[in-house]
Chain A
Amino acid sequence: QVQLVQSGAEVKKPGASVKVSCKASGYTFTSYGISWVRQAPGQGLEWMGWISRNNGNTKYAQNLQGRVTMITDTSTSTAYMELRSLRSDDTAVYYCARGEAADYWGQGTLVTVSS
């Protein structure tokens, strides 16, 4: 069965960076891109970006441009999302999902930014 398993919760100080991993199984990793979505406490879903299934082409949300990088490692079927210069309003649960239509989701990774 399709599974996306994300790395564990993180606590970071303002200005630091965080890298969240998303390991895929149960399907051919190079057949689908990966979307990243976050959800601040008590808020709705915010699309962060997408990385293509094969050539690493990326699309990022305008408000994250310059601070976010998404990559994939096809040898391990793992996607990564790095967010830099963290601020308190980056505190959220971060999700990876399969494809642009997000048919399968990871379990989420809580990132807390606090001094």
Chain B
Amino acid sequence: DIQMTQSPSSLSASVGDRVTITCRASQGISSYLAWFQQKPGKAPKSLIYAASSLQSGVPSKFSGSGSGTDFTLTISSLQPEDFATYYCQQYDSYPLTFGGGTKVEIK
């Protein structure tokens, strides 16, 4: 199985900060990587697919990059509505696997 390791597991940031979350796959997954945002009590929401493609309707402050084993999600200017938990997921091979999540909190 492909292990997905996210870092950090949590971070504190201020409104307006640039935030970067990393996701590392235990083996190459090409660009078969998605990023999700989840707020408490809500279903996850897709932000990025194919490592760097922005999902329709998602603001351009979110961006994804990487291929192979190393990936990043960047929020260019953190806003109050961005405080949430973020997950990566590989969909290169079965079983599909998620990272452990990164909780973004207000500093």
- Quick one: which of B1, B36, B100 contacts A102, CB cutoff 8 A? B36
Among residues of A, the one whose C-beta sits closest to the C-beta of B44 is A105
Q: Is B80 an interface residue (CB 8 A)?
A: no
Among residues of B, the one whose C-beta sits closest to the C-beta of A103 is B46
Chain B, interface residues (CB within 8 Å), range: 20 to 34
List 25 contacting pairs A-B, 8 Å CB cutoff, sorted by A. Answer: A37-B44, A45-B44, A45-B87, A45-B98, A47-B89, A47-B96, A47-B97, A50-B94, A50-B96, A59-B95, A61-B95, A62-B95, A95-B43, A95-B44, A101-B32, A101-B46, A102-B34, A102-B44, A102-B89, A103-B49, A104-B46, A105-B44, A105-B46, A106-B43, A107-B43
- A102–B55 alpha-carbon span in the complex (Å): 11
Cβ-defined contact, A44 with B94, below 8 A: no
Q: Is B39 an interface residue (CB 8 A)?
A: no
Asked whether A59 and B87 contact (CB < 8 A) given A95-B43, A95-B44, A105-B43, the answer is: no
**Chain B 22-42, CB within 8 Å of chain A: the 1/0 string?**
000000000010101010000
Q: Is B45 an interface residue (CB 8 A)?
A: yes
Cβ-defined contact, A46 with B98, below 8 A: yes
Contacts of A107 in B (CB 8 A): 43
Q: Is B83 an interface residue (CB 8 A)?
A: no
Q: How far is the CB of B34 from chain A (nearest CB, A)?
A: 5
Q: A-B pairs with the 10 shortest C-beta distances?
A: A100-B91, A105-B43, A45-B98, A47-B96, A59-B94, A101-B49, A103-B46, A44-B101, A101-B34, A108-B43
Interface of B is mostly: loop
A contacts with B, residue count (CB < 8 A):
21
- A103–B101 alpha-carbon span in the complex (Å): 18
- A45–B91 alpha-carbon span in the complex (Å): 14
- A62–B46 alpha-carbon span in the complex (Å): 25
**Chain B 66-107, CB within 8 Å of chain A: the 1/0 string?**
000000000000000000000101010011111111000000
Q: Is A35 an interface residue (CB 8 A)?
A: yes
